[in-house]
Homo-oligomer: A and B are copies of this chain.
């Protein structure tokens, strides 16, 4: 991949890059960049939304950069000392270690284990003295801190902001100083804090980091951000069938966003898929590829295969036999009309019977009723074909040799 392609891959799907020109400059030096992303050490139970950031980290790893998964244990050791926010209790060092191990079990489904450095910001933050904190906080003003969206809203509304809340963004910014980060990745809601890092690095005589924010992933409902409480999430520990089914339930439009944000396929491959779709390839087959990639990532290839088969069977009809044998049918580049397929599969004695069955509304492919006798199926996919309530075939369409 040439350098322009690398830059495009690294910025792919990013919400904002500050400053993209700096990123190019840093990349052109040819030295691996120090890339940082911070995570709360709360007990993780990740869903695909969380993996957008991990996927971005993975992309940097794939291009040879040094990626640190930074666990922000320092502040969690403290919790919310004001005692106002009962949802943020202080975590013990032991709980943090347990949570860190839970993280590891999950994030290495996306990150490259051999290329990931896991670190804890308590390593340097707990060594700071009161004097260091005073020096640190001299580099940022109250007015700028109050510009942060949530602070400014609370201040205007008269909702108390404790002074220690001003110290958290400074602590996070100091992480970048301590790590001499070249790039910090985070969610869009982290933008302010990531920019504090730039300011502090400059104050400490360092080249400021590039800040890259990744967008929130839209959930399976296609409307709201993926979230557990909205029920529109796909958990990364969900069983293969559930995960596969949920991915298949997203709209064709959202599918492309998922490809951009979650798939490890290079942009060029995705462009090819898009061309195929506009050339008439069934989007459902393309979505199968996405679902198989994601399920294989969080489980394995065999599980993805099984989930695919089960999905087809399940959506075809509850009555699809579990032990339906797979038949391979060779098709040429032009593909095969449904009536021809029915005949080849032994589900109709002739193409005319096949077409009649279509007219009767008795034919389903992967559970969806076929109404268009002109529908052509191409090689490269697997389908459950059904005629009436009882006759089934599981077919794999392969290109003619």
User: Which of A's residues lie within 8 Å of B, judged by CB?
Assistant: 74-75, 77-78, 80-82, 125-143, 145-146, 151, 155, 158, 160-167, 170-171
Contact = CB atoms under 8 A, between A and B. Distances in A.
Contacts of A132: 130
Contact of A82 (B139, B151, B161, B165): B139
Given A82-B138, A128-B129, A143-B158, 8 more contacts: A78-B135, A81-B139, A126-B130, A128-B130, A134-B164, A137-B162, A138-B163, A142-B160
A138 B165 CA distance: 7
Contacts of A138: 80-82, 162-164
B163 A170 contact: yes
A77 B126 CA distance: 21
Contacts of A133: 130, 133, 167
Given A138-B81, A141-B161, A142-B142, A129 B129 contact: yes
B128 A140 contact: no
A379 to B, nearest CB: 62
A81 B141 contact: no
A164 B135 contact: yes
B163 A137 contact: yes
A75 to B, nearest CB: 7
Q: How many copies does the complex hold?
A: 2
Contact of A74 (B127, B131, B137, B171): B131
Given A78-B134, A126-B129, A129-B129, A143 B162 contact: no
15 contacts: A74-B131, A75-B134, A81-B138, A126-B129, A126-B131, A129-B130, A136-B164, A137-B164, A138-B162, A138-B164, A140-B162, A141-B161, A142-B146, A145-B163, A163-B170
Nearest to A144: B160
B130 A81 contact: no
A128 B77 CA distance: 16
A160 B142 CA distance: 7
Contacts of A77: 131
Given A130-B130, A131-B74, A131-B77, A161 B137 contact: no
A335 B273 CA distance: 119
Contacts of A128: 129-130
Choose among A77, A126, A136 the residue with the greatest number of B CB atoms under 10 Å from its CB. A136
Contact of A130 (B125, B139, B140, B146): B125
A136 to B, nearest CB: 8
Given A130-B128, A166-B163, A155 B143 contact: yes
Nearest to A131: B78
Contacts of A130: 74, 125-130, 132-133, 171
A81 B70 CA distance: 28
